[in-house]
């Protein structure tokens, strides 16, 4: 299973090492790690991520399959957390393995663009002023037109 939806924390370094060991024949491995940071108006205390169990796994599996085919990847990994995350915690990661670097970079970018606005996750920021749902950005939707 190269798609993981989980509540508990994970070690991106250990995941990347395991992924790299399994990616036989890869000449390039790219990874991206997303981290909870303070962008809220107010003091961000934590982030809560709601998701749609069942559809989340299906959507991520589909996005990964598209990336595998389009960029001729050897392997691709997607890990995304849900539930409560404290500031500085790892939210998610993607890793891609390809014979050459350009495909690995582009596939990671593609995966990120698609999972931002096509995988059913919703972020809520918990701040000193209360809890607010994060609004989707037009630029995230526009980013899909690049592909």
Partner 1 sequence: MDIRYFAWLRERIGTGHETIESNAETVADLIEELKARSESHAFAFSDIASLRAAVDQELVAFDAPVLGAKEVAFFPPMTGG
Per-residue tokens: 75? 């392997």
Give the bridge partners for 35, in sequence order: 90
CA triplet 87, 94, 35: central angle to 5 degrees? 10
DSSP category for residue 136: P
Q: How far apart are the first and last CA of the chain?
A: 25
Residue 99 interacts with partner 1 (CB under 8 A)? Answer: no
Residue 108 interacts with partner 1 (CB under 8 A)? Answer: no
Q: Binder to partner 1 among 58, 70, 100, 102 (CB under 8 A)? A: 58
Is 84 or 123 the residue whose CB approaches partner 1 more closely? 123
Residue 64 interacts with partner 1 (CB under 8 A)? Answer: no
Residue 80 interacts with partner 1 (CB under 8 A)? Answer: yes
Alpha helices in the chain (DSSP H): 12-22, 55-70, 101-118, 138-143
How far apart CA 68 and CA 111 sit, in angstroms, is 10
What H or E segment, with its residue span, contains residue 141? helix 138-143
Per-residue tokens: 104? 């690995």
Residues 127-146 binding partner 1 (CB under 8 A) are 133-136, 141
Q: Binder to partner 1 among 96, 106, 121, 126 (CB under 8 A)? A: 121
Task: Find the part of the chain contacting partner 1 (CB under 8 A) among 10-18, 19-27, 67-75, 117-125.
Answer: 117-125
- State in angstroms the smallest separation of the CB of 70 from partner 1: 19
Instruction: Return residues touching partner 1 (CB under 8 A).
Output: 34, 49-50, 52, 54-55, 58-59, 80, 91-92, 112, 115-124, 133-136, 141
């Amino acid at each position: 299973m190269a798609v993981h939806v989980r509540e508990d924390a994970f070690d991106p370094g250990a995941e990347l090492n395991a992924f790299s060991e399994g990616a036989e024949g890869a000449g390039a491995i790219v990874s991206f790690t997303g981290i909870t940071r303070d962008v809220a108006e107010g003091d961000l205390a934590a982030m809560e991520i709601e998701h749609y169990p069942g559809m989340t796994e299906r959507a991520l599996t589909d996005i990964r399959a598209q990336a595998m085919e389009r960029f001729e990847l050897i392997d691709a990994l997607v890990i995304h957390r849900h539930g409560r995350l404290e500031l500085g915690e790892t939210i998610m990661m993607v890793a891609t393995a390809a014979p050459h670097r350009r495909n690995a970079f582009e596939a990671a970018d593609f995966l990120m663009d698609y999972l931002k606005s096509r995988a059913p996750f919703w972020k809520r920021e918990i701040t000193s002023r209360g809890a607010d749902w994060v609004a989707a950005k037009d630029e995230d939707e526009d980013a899909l037109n690049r592909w």
